Amino acid sequence: MSAIPGPRAPRPRLGIVGGGQLARMTAESADALGVDVAVLAQPGDDATRGQVTDRTVVERLGPAVLQAFARCCDVVTFDHEKVRPGDVAALERAGHVVRPGLVAFTMAADKSVQRRRLDALGLPVPEFLVTDDAGAARRFAEAHGGRAVVKAARGGYDGRGVVRADRPSAAAAAAATMLRRRGTEVVVEPWLAIERELAVLVARRPGGQLVTYPVVETRQDETAICREVVAPAAIDARTAEDARRLAADVAAAVDAVGILAVELFVVDGTVVVNELAARPHNTGHLTIEACATSQFANHVRGVLDLPLGPTDLVVPAAAMANVIARGTTDPAAVDVERLVGPGGDPVVVHGYGKQARPGRKIGHVTALATDRDAARRRAVAVARGIEAATRPPAPAPAPGPAPTPAALAS
């Protein structure tokens, strides 16, 4: 374990638990705001390596380590939900400033708590069942046309811990696997006829002041990993207003501080809550270039109780495409200028400094344009080109059989 940061500096110090790309981009915004950053990382968190001066690497995010880290920081925040809620509660009891607080953190970290709390507050969520019984998941699917979506209550992200079951037996099997491997309840929902998937970021201060970002549309691949984000979403004004109002209501209900990402479904013309993340989020990466204040800057402002910045789009349209590695080849040498091409609208490539391996998110591409489709095409083309560069070269074909003496003689 490397050393915990020393005494607090004259500038405020923000402590970030987790050393992934969210911490990396948050640290960049913090520095621009005159805020020091300390990161508590784990061995696999390579995105902040060499990017943050005060970086501590530990094998386990246990209570003692978290307490020692918090003592050196003015405010503690997170770049993931892998901390146990009980440890967050212990930090608060010890008098440390933790933002988001326990309620918002637990709501984001545990889908069973999230679903029950939002439903109890009368906020729109899909029909759901929380259970630790695989047989109950089967019966839920049977009662909903034979299909269901099974989600691990804890530990799922980037499509992990989510299974779309096309028959009752598959729902039961998915639930049984999650219950056995993850040791957590499962949330079972109907397989909805989703018209669009949207997201709204809310930035909020401890006193309740909040701002919402423009509604974006998200596109997932077959494994439920978010691949693309487009702004503004192609929805009517009423749906956009409904989405922003609902996101603001959720943020107030869970007493969010900093960024709260609210992922939404549009079903039968109605906006319902899908999932929450109480931290900067993949759906907000395009705000770095496309909005007056990035989600990372407003997260820092929110958790330090500083005035929030404006969230308006500063371009007609923007799109973000994630870069998902296909192999282990380092894409650093890829000719991005060739992929982008000469002239045209701006395209920005963000590499995360992470070791490439199949299925790992290693960067994102943001394109700005005068319309959504043009921005999306540009972002996707560049992202897929970078992904292809991570694929190892195909092996040379095996040599054919040696020619026989008779063949040589002829």
How many CA atoms, within 13 angstroms, populate the side-chain half-sphere of residue 10? Answer: 0
332 and 273 together in one domain: yes
pLDDT at 73: 96
Task: Please spell the DSSP secondary structure of 88-123, one letter per residue.
Answer: HHHHHHTT--BSS-HHHHHHHH-HHHHHHHHHHTT-
259 within 8 A of 284, measured Cβ to Cβ: yes
Q: Tell me, what CATH number does 374's domain have?
A: 3.30.470.20
Domain-located, residue 385? yes
Q: Tell me, what CATH number does 184's domain have?
A: 3.30.1490.20
359 and 278 together in one domain: yes
Token pair 């993850």 is at which residue? Answer: 182
Q: For helices 111-120 and 237-253, give the axis angle rounded to 10 degrees.
A: 110
The parent domain of residue 218 ranges over 196-389
Element (H, E) at 63: helix 63-71
228 and 291 together in one domain: yes
How far apart are alpha carbons 369 and 382 in whole angstroms? 14
Q: Which of 170, 190, 210 is the last residue of a domain?
A: 190
Q: Which residues pair with 151 in a beta bridge?
A: 162, 187
Domain-located, residue 67? yes
What total number of domains does the chain contain? 3
49 and 170 together in one domain: no
157 and 56 together in one domain: no
Residue 98 CB neighbours (<10 A) = 26
Domain-located, residue 218? yes
232 and 370 together in one domain: yes
Domain-located, residue 36? yes
In 88-242, the DSSP E strands lie at 129-131, 148-152, 162-165, 186-190, 196-204, 210-212, 216-220, 226-231
73 and 146 together in one domain: no
pLDDT by residue for the chain (410 residues), tens only, comes to 556 666 555 789 999 999 999 999 999 999 999 999 999 999 989 899 988 989 999 989 999 999 999 999 999 999 999 899 999 999 999 999 999 999 999 999 999 999 999 999 999 999 999 999 999 999 999 999 999 999 999 876 656 789 999 999 999 999 999 998 867 799 999 999 999 999 999 999 999 999 999 999 999 877 668 899 999 999 999 999 999 999 999 999 999 999 999 999 999 999 999 999 999 999 999 999 999 999 999 999 999 999 999 999 999 999 999 999 999 888 776 777 777 777 777 999 999 999 899 989 999 999 999 999 999 999 999 999 999 988 876 665 666 565 554 544 44
Domain-located, residue 230? yes
Q: For helices 111-120 and 102-109, give the axis angle rounded to 10 degrees.
A: 110
Left (φ > 0), alpha (ψ -120 to 50) or beta: where does 276 sit?
beta
17 and 93 together in one domain: yes
In 278-312, the DSSP E strands lie at none
Supply the pTM of this predicted model: 0.91
pLDDT at 407: 46
How far apart are alpha carbons 374 and 376 in whole angstroms? 5
Left (φ > 0), alpha (ψ -120 to 50) or beta: where does 224 sit?
left
